[in-house]
Amino acid sequence: MRPFAYETAADVASASRFGREAGQGQTDAPTQFLAGGTTLIDLMKLDVLRPQRLVDINPLVARHSEIEVGPDGLRIGALAKMSAVAAHPEVLATYPALAQSLQLAASPQLRNMATLGGNVLQRTRCTYYRDPSWTACNKRQPGSGCAALEGVNRNHAVLGVDENCIAQYPGDLGVALIALGAEVELGGAAGARRIPFAELHRPAGKPHVETTLKSGELITAFRVPAGPWTRRSLYLKVRDRASYEFAIASAAVALDMDGEVVRQARIGLGGLAYRPWRAEAAEASLKGKPLTEETAEAAAREALSGAITHGHNAYKPELGRRTMVRALLAAKTMEA
Amino acid sequence: MVLNINGRDQHLKVDVRTSLLDALREHLHLTGAKKGCDQGQCGACTVHVDGKRELSCLTLAVAVQGRKINTIEGLAGADGGLHPMQQAFIDHDGFQCGYCTPGQIMSAVACVHEGNARTDADIREYMSGNLCRCGAYPNIVAAIKQARSSMERG
Ligand SMILES: Cc1cc2nc3c(=O)[nH]c(=O)nc-3n(C[C@H](O)[C@H](O)[C@H](O)COP(=O)(O)OP(=O)(O)OC[C@H]3O[C@@H](n4cnc5c(N)ncnc54)[C@H](O)[C@@H]3O)c2cc1C
Ligand code: SF4
Ligand code: FES
Ligand code: FES
């Protein structure tokens, strides 16, 4: 690991000042915030992230890790631990998809360490990204190419990709947040603002720039609006092992039903896409229709219709469709 | 820097890059916690930080000053008597080579305290962060069940 200067920040303003060079998720950013460290320290050991300065934001835990459930929705401080949110009784009862996305992620030890803010900003597990001995990786080194296009790409994304990068967004929480229409509260030296979670991660194009954060900006909280669909929601994760593994396909589904008929469906997909992915066309295709195997399958075809495969990951569109259908039909049987 | 390990403040002079695992093993000669993967994937380095199980390989020592760190070396009673979890791993042959065992035991103690060791399925799910290359899993589950009963009796 390369040498770095270590600072601790007492509040958001000083963290943002120390972190003014933290960038927008660039791999070569000279400054990184240290939350749980489970992405950051891992990638520093692998010599992928090479910050000259770490800004430890753990002193912010006391003021930015509260979990509040109210009539308008859910608000969670960005330094809340994955394990605390996953086990929170009101989150489990009212936002089950969100609790499950955390519960099914990583391991108990990692969930005790990792924060929600760090979770949504975790980096891809693309093996070429994680190993700097591969020179071709546009995400690490803009313009260098993409080793995965012709390489081992079984785990790579099929939605939202282009010829520059086919990396999969690996997180589970982001899939639930996008389905539930979450917002992100940001804070920094230049003041506070709020953006839709769907706008936090950039679409394909410039893979080395991952987020729309202003340099030095911190995520301070997540907001999930209340709605008639939140209780009838779930997260379904398909993976190579029974536990402790990233998704190869996943779906977060939330339904507002009028008897058999869908008033509103909200669908997020994971393990399949370049960034947290909302299946809006599929949602629209279900609106006002009874939810049956046929309508669910039609929606799933719609959701995966733009899929682009690269050999080893050719199985993903079909797996994605089946995952989405299973999630929709399972959510239908839930008590709302 | 000062680290509170097993109830005692320990002073050490180390590079800011030092992981908690390396601080324990290389500088304080507490070699119970093991280095399996050094990447957060195997659980061999599991210790308790403020009572919660965490991975010492992905923790910077400098960042856990002022927090209470407990390792396998601090688990046995003051009289040297084994913790019920340690005894249960012996009773059920919960290991072969023993490399993963300190991490398994630290994780298992926390798993019982969390209330996540109620059923066999729960134990398997909530111990999934601790890999065992020797495949001692069935005996580990049996050991945790025995220890859970004696820990609950107090
Ligand atoms: C073996 C293993 C298995 C895993 N399995 C899964 C899985 O199945 N599903 C899953 O979803 N995840 C999984 N993960 C990833 C894990 O969930 C993330 O590493 C973790 O959530 C990151 O959170 P952290 O607090 O540790 O972030 P850190 O590592 O501290 O930070 C990550 C990044 O976010 C930035 N950052 C952190 N907090 C903020 C903030 N508040 N504002 C602005 N920037 C910030 C940091 O600068 C850094 O760039 C796994 C990880 C490992 C090591
Ligand atoms: S898929 Fe993206 S992250 Fe992976 S090698 Fe290609 S450019 Fe790099
Ligand atoms: S050595 Fe820490 S998890 Fe493997
Ligand atoms: S006993 Fe050998 S690795 Fe578990």
Q: What is the DSSP track for B19-62? A: BHHHIIIIIS----S--S-SSSSS-TTEEEETTEEEEGGGSBGG
User: Are B101 and B131 spatial neighbours (Cβ–Cβ below 8 Å)?
Assistant: no
| pLDDT single digits (tens) A214-252 | 999 999 999 999 999 999 999 999 999 999 999 999 999
Q: Residues B98-114: what's their mean pLDDT?
A: 98
Token pair, residue A9, equals 């920040």
Interface of B with A (CB under 8 A): 15-17, 19, 38-40, 43, 46, 52-55, 58-60, 62-63, 107, 110-111, 114, 116, 124-126, 128-130
pLDDT tens for chain A, residues 1 to 336: 999 999 999 999 999 999 999 999 999 999 999 999 999 999 999 999 999 999 999 999 999 999 999 999 999 999 999 999 999 999 999 999 999 999 999 999 999 999 999 999 999 999 999 999 999 999 999 999 999 999 999 999 999 999 999 999 999 999 999 999 999 999 998 899 999 999 999 999 999 999 999 999 999 999 999 999 999 999 999 999 999 999 999 999 999 999 999 999 999 999 999 999 999 999 999 999 999 999 999 999 999 999 999 999 999 999 999 999 999 999 999 987
- Protein residues with CB under 6 Å of any ligand 2 atom: A 124, 126, 128-129, 137-139, 146-148, 165-167, 207
CA distance B143 to B146: 5
R_g over Cα of chain B: 15
Q: B129: phi > 0 → left, psi -120 to 50 → alpha, else beta; which?
A: alpha
Nearest ligand to the C-alpha atom of residue B94: 4
Which is it for the CA torsion B22, B25, B30, B36, positive or negative? positive
| pLDDT of A171 | 98
Q: What pLDDT is recorded for position A190?
A: 82
d(CA B58, CA A37): 6
- Owner of token pair 């969670």: A76
The helix-helix angle for B101-114 and B137-153 (nearest 10°) equals 50
Mean pLDDT of B21-38: 98
pLDDT value at residue A335: 83
Please tell me the predicted confidence (pLDDT) of residue B153: 86
Q: What count of other Cβ atoms lies within 10 Å of the Cβ of residue B1? A: 16
CATH 1.10.150.120 in chain B, residues? 84-153
Could you say which architecture CATH assigns to the domain B84-153? Orthogonal Bundle (1.10)
The DSSP secondary-structure symbol of B82 reads P
* pLDDT value of residue B77: 86
Relative to the alpha carbon of B58, which ligand is closest? 3
Task: Report the nearest-CA residue for atom 4 of ligand 4.
Answer: B132
For helices B137-153 and B84-91, what crossing angle results, to 10°?
Answer: 140
How close does chain B come to A70, measured CA to CA in Å? 27
pLDDT of residue B80: 86
Per-residue pLDDT at B103? 98
Query: Looking at residues B81-92, what average pLDDT do you find?
Result: 97
Closest partner residue to A109 (CB to CB) among B17, B38, B55 is B55
A199: buried, middle or exposed (CB in 10 Å: 19+, 13-18, 0-12)? exposed
- What residue ranges define each of the domains in chain A, with the CATH number in brackets? 60-120+170-225 (3.30.465.10), 233-332 (3.30.390.50)
Q: Is the CB of A324 under 6 A from ligand 1?
A: no
Angle at A303 between CA A298 and CA A306, to 5 degrees: 120
CA angle (A102, A28, B65) in 5-degree steps:
60
Q: Which of B37, B48, B58 to mutate to test the interface with A (most CBs of A within 10 A)?
A: B58
Q: Which residues of chain B make contact with A37, given a CB cutoff of 8 A? A: 58-60, 63
The number of the ligand 3 atom at minimal distance from the alpha carbon of B56 is: 2
Q: Provide the CATH number for the domain formed by B2-74 in this structure.
A: 3.10.20.30
Residue nearest atom 36 of ligand 1, based on CA coordinates: A118
Res A189: pLDDT? 85
Name the pairing type of β-strands A193-196 and A277-278: unpaired
Question: Quick one: closest CA in B to A9, which residue?
Answer: B63
- Lookup: tokens for A8: 């601790």
Which pLDDT does position A256 carry in this prediction? 98
Task: Give the whole-angstrom CA distance, residue A154 versus residue A136.
Answer: 18
Q: Of A108, A110, A242, which is closest to B126 when you measure between CB atoms? A: A108
pLDDT value of residue B141? 98
Whether ipTM exceeds 0.95? yes
Q: Does pTM surpass 0.95?
A: yes
> Please, are residues A128 and A148 in contact by the beta-carbon 8 Å criterion?
yes
Tokens 């080893």, residue?
A: A312
Residue B15's CB is within 10 A of a number of other CB atoms, namely 11
Q: Determine the average pLDDT of the residues in B12-19.
A: 97
CA–centroid distance for A20 within its chain: 24
Residue A56 to chain B, least CA–CA distance (Å): 8
Cβ-based contacts of B63 with chain A (< 8 Å): 6, 34, 37, 56, 58
**Nearest CA residue ID for atom 34, ligand 1:** A118
Out of A37, A83, A108, whose CB is closest to B58?
A: A37
Q: What is the pLDDT of residues A29-61, one digit of tens each?
A: 999 999 999 999 999 999 999 999 999 999 999
CA of A230 to the centre of ligand 4 (A): 43
Mean pLDDT, chain B, whole residue set = 97
Looking at residue A58, the DSSP 8-state letter turns out to be G
Residue B99 in contact with ligand 3 by CB distance below 6 A: no
Shortest Cα–Cα distance, A313 to chain B (Å): 24
Looking at beta carbons, which residues of chain B come within 8 Å of A51?
none
